[in-house]
């Protein structure tokens, strides 16, 4: 009779490997030695291991744990930790502050230097692990969006880091192709969103749905349908041999309780622009053709107050007299 012991919250390590002396004990597991490291089972199963500097980071379902490698942690009388050398392969383990884990989506993990990014589907958050610990970067203006998005059922939640643009690209893949006509608020659609560190926020939605991604020799690659694609081509917004259109959703009224008056539109650039319509929750308008002056483009805004709505601030005058009594 054969018994199996599944240690989903523990680690086991083999003998040493030294390429300089041709010592290879990777196939040796001496049970007489302390070759195991058990974590608290309440943290859930270990989903991902990440070596950062001289530590080993264990991403469990409900917790992220730092494990000292080749050293141990001794606490002083004042409670401050002190690192000391040890013959232990894996020493003291300490969970990071914060009730976050990686759930069961290790594919969302991506790293750059000492920073690591991942999602916690159970708690509806996207996290960054840095030198200052865990930070929920989904709170940077998109807390509700990610909370709703992570409630959905997806084929994959894939993360990768673009070393050229210094962005963490997170893809929610339903298994369907990207459709640019679908509103990004639709929680059932596939979409990729990017976080940039220098602005501390989510800078753009992307038109590619990756299966995996990595940066090699200053070139960012992603995979789709098992094929490898480079993102450093000269054709803008062309992903996986398909051309997509770029667009910008501008937020003019960031204070909804204050009614604004807009008179002109302007932008800087060398591309021809056109405005089909201008709409707010109160009124609608139109734009005249853009006039170019010193590489800047200007257009006037006209109000579409066809019904002569006297409750609008755009309505001026006292109206038209129906009759005159003499």
Task: State whether 259 and 177 are in the same domain.
Answer: no
Over residues 122-140, the mean pLDDT reads 94
Which pLDDT band, with edges at 50, 70 and 90, does 86 fall under?
low
Over residues 301-306, the mean pLDDT reads 71
69 inside domain = yes
Final residue of a domain: which of 216, 231, 249?
A: 249
Containing structural domain, residue 26: 8-95
211 inside domain = yes
323 inside domain = no
221 inside domain = yes
280-311 burial: b if 16+ Cβ within 10 Å, else e: eeeeebebeebeeeeeebebeeebebeeeeee
Task: State whether 164 and 273 are in the same domain.
Answer: no
Which pLDDT band, with edges at 50, 70 and 90, does 306 fall under?
low
321 inside domain = no
Domains in the chain: how many in total? 3
pLDDT, tens digit (0-9, with 9 covering 90-100), for 152-172: 888 889 999 999 999 999 999
Check if the beta carbon of residue 148 is closer than 8 Å to that of residue 185. no
Final residue of a domain: which of 249, 283, 305?
A: 249
Over residues 251-275, the mean pLDDT reads 69
pLDDT reading at 46 higher than 90? yes
Structure confidence at residue 215 (pLDDT):
93
Check if the beta carbon of residue 273 is closer than 8 Å to that of residue 299. no
The sheet with strand 191-196 has its strands ordered as 156-162, 167-173, 191-196, 201-206
Distance CA 106, CA 281 (A): 42
325 inside domain = no
Task: State whether 82 and 157 are in the same domain.
Answer: no
Task: State whether 91 and 227 are in the same domain.
Answer: no
Final residue of a domain: which of 38, 65, 95?
A: 95
Distance CA 1, CA 53 (A): 44
139 SS3 class = helix
Task: State whether 241 and 254 are in the same domain.
Answer: no
Task: State whether 59 and 167 are in the same domain.
Answer: no
Distance CA 43, CA 39 (A): 8
pLDDT, tens digit (0-9, with 9 covering 90-100), for 175-228: 766 555 555 555 568 899 999 999 999 998 888 999 999 999 889 999 998 899
Task: State whether 69 and 197 are in the same domain.
Answer: no
Owner of token pair 């000391």: 84
Which pLDDT band, with edges at 50, 70 and 90, does 81 fall under?
low
Structure confidence at residue 4 (pLDDT):
78
What number of other Cβ atoms are within 10 A of residue 35's Cβ? 16
Task: State whether 195 and 84 are in the same domain.
Answer: no
Q: Which two tokens stand for residue 202?
A: 């989510």
Distance CA 101, CA 15 (A): 30
Task: State whether 83 and 156 are in the same domain.
Answer: no
Distance CA 36, CA 192 (A): 39
List 187's β-bridge partners, or say none.
Answer: none
Better pLDDT: 111 or 14: 111
Check if the beta carbon of residue 132 is closer than 8 Å to that of residue 114. no
322 inside domain = no
DSSP of 140-201: TT-HHHHHHHTTS--SEEEEEEETTTTEEEEEEE-SSPP-TTS-TT-TTS-EEEEEETTTTE
């Amino acid at each position: 009779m054969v018994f199996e012991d599944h240690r989903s919250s523990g680690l086991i390590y083999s003998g040493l490997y030294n390429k300089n002396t041709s010592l290879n004990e990777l196939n040796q597991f001496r049970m007489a030695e302390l070759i195991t490291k058990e974590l608290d089972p309440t943290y859930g199963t270990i989903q991902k291991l990440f070596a950062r500097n001289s530590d080993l980071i264990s991403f469990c379902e409900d917790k992220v744990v730092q494990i000292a490698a080749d050293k141990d942690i001794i606490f002083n009388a004042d409670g401050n930790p002190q690192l000391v050398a040890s013959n232990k392969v894996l020493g003291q383990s300490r969970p990071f502050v914060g009730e976050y884990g990686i759930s069961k989506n290790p594919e969302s993990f991506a790293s750059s230097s000492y920073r690591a990014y991942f999602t916690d589907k159970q708690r509806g958050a996207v996290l960054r692990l840095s030198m200052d610990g865990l930070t929920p970067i989904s709170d940077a203006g998109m807390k509700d969006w990610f909370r709703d998005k992570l409630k959905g059922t997806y084929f994959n939640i894939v993360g990768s880091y673009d070393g050229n643009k210094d962005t963490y690209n997170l893809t929610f893949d339903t298994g369907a192709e990207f459709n640019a006509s679908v509103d990004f608020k639709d929680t059932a659609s596939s979409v990729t969103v990017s976080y940039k560190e220098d602005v501390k926020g989510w800078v753009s939605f992307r038109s590619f749905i990756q299966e995996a991604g990595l940066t090699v020799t200053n070139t960012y690659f992603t995979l789709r349908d098992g094929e490898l694609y480079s993102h450093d081509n000269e054709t803008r917004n062309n992903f996986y041999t398909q051309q997509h259109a770029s667009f910008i959703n501008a937020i003019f009224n960031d204070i909804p309780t204050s009614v604004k008056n807009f008179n002109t539109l302007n932008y800087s650039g060398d591309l021809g622009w056109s405005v089909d319509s201008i709409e707010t929750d109160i009124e609608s308008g139109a734009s005249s053709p853009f006039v170019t002056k010193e590489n800047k483009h200007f257009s006037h805004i006209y109000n579409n107050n066809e019904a002569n709505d006297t409750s609008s601030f755009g309505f001026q005058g006292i109206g038209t007299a129906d009759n005159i009594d003499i």
